[in-house]
Amino acid sequence: MDYELREEQKKFKSDFRAFCEKEIVPRAMKIDREGAFSFENHRGLAEIGFLGLPFPKQYGGEGKPLLTCVLAWEELARSCPSTFLSSGIGCLLPGMAVNLFGTEEQKQKYLRGLVRGEKMAAWAMTEPQTGSDTGSIKTEARREGNSYRLNGTKALVTNGPIADWAVVMAVTDTQAVPNQKMSAFLVEKGTPGFSAGPPLDKLGARGSPTSDLILQDCILPGSGLLGEEGKGYALLEKVQHFGRLSSAGYSLGVAQACLEEAVLYAQKRQAFGRPIAHFQEISFKVADMQMFVDTGRLLLYRTAWMMDEGMDADSDLSIAKLFLSESATWCAANAVQIHGGHGFLKGCKAEQLYRDAKLGDLRDGTSEMQRRKIALNLLGEGFR
């Protein structure tokens, strides 16, 4: 058993951190304040190969193992959670759907532009009336000869307002058994009947645009089908693995940033004639933060490694995601606490992290759904 990253992995992580410190960190507070996605960050990330990390070389990607991807995800989320949400998770999920289920033509067409940073993508599963209960989606794709007519609304879609294309999940057979009801579709911006709602105002990750996507008699050619008709559930399950992994990376980056902010402030802020770090109430908080961050990092790295090795990591993904998202919200609340009243003010990094952290509990399966998954894998189908 080897817990040490290899030399090239350590170098990759520290080089990527240096890039983020120079290019991403200086814009992070502004992005949050203005609630505007940074295309400048996105282009920079494309240039250094970040967008292509997990994708095969034949489509312009870097073909890196997931463990390497996680090292970069953690650093980007530590530097700017919003940028990681849009340029990382937001592009990873539709990209992975195409990479794993697309035809050669679809991969050439959609992955290359994504990896180069020329096209933005979105993953559209959630609907206004359902999120966790994925089997209850209502968006319908009716076959009409060799085409499909799509009707429905997708909600809370990351990159919705700026996406050039989206993977949209829709019901193709209302009568089929639950895991054969839905299919995935590739819908391009500009397709008649396809539009984005206005950007939604959010608590955190404010520099990552979110919106509804609306399909109103949107006609797609048969070539818009991604994977096989009726096999959307299998696609969804696979994509959700990458969702949980990258979401855990989001929370790890946020928790690490909270720890660093808390340590810095505790050492510099004076009270009763000494740095507040000298009070046990404060020093034990940062000690606990370190414990959560380190434990979560071990869980996440192990899970990424298991996936790279082709092992079943279903429970491990949920454990890592659940532990890290709850650790990040705990670390963020305590980073604000250590900053005292100043932590409650706009312009304080801890305040931003406090808002950004909460998303980890909600996206890519809520904490409740992760606990259900872990319990189901332990207790078996009877548990349902």
Which residues here bind ligand FAD, judged by CB under 6 A? Answer: 123-126, 130-133, 156-158, 202, 205, 210, 359, 362-363, 366, 368-369, 372
CA atoms within 13 A of residue 160's CA, in its CB half-sphere: 25
**Shortest Cβ 325–ligand FAD spacing (Å):** 12
**Shortest Cβ 384–ligand FAD spacing (Å):** 10
What angle is formed at CA 329 by the lines to CA 328 and CA 332, rounded to 5 degrees? Answer: 85
**Considering just the CA atoms, what is the radius of gyration of the chain in Å?**
21
The residue (of 123 and 233) whose beta carbon lies closer to ligand FAD is 123
The residue (of 44 and 365) whose beta carbon lies closer to ligand FAD is 365
Q: What are phi and psi of 108, to 5 degrees?
A: -60, -40
**Shortest Cβ 297–ligand FAD spacing (Å):** 23
The residue (of 119 and 202) whose beta carbon lies closer to ligand FAD is 202
DSSP code per residue over 125-171: --BTTBSS-GGG---EEEEETTEEEEEEEEEEEETGGG-SEEEEEEE
**Shortest Cβ 210–ligand FAD spacing (Å):** 5
The burial of 305, by beta-carbon neighbours within 10 Å (0-12 exposed, 13-18 middle, 19 or more buried), is given as: middle
| Amino acid type, 91 | C
Helix, strand or coil, per DSSP, at residue 225: strand
The residue (of 79 and 210) whose beta carbon lies closer to ligand FAD is 210
**Shortest Cβ 157–ligand FAD spacing (Å):** 5
Residues with Cβ within 8 Å of 199's Cβ and at least 6 positions away in sequence, in order, are 35, 160, 161, 209, 210, 211
The residue (of 342 and 372) whose beta carbon lies closer to ligand FAD is 372
The residue (of 64 and 363) whose beta carbon lies closer to ligand FAD is 363
**Shortest Cβ 167–ligand FAD spacing (Å):** 9
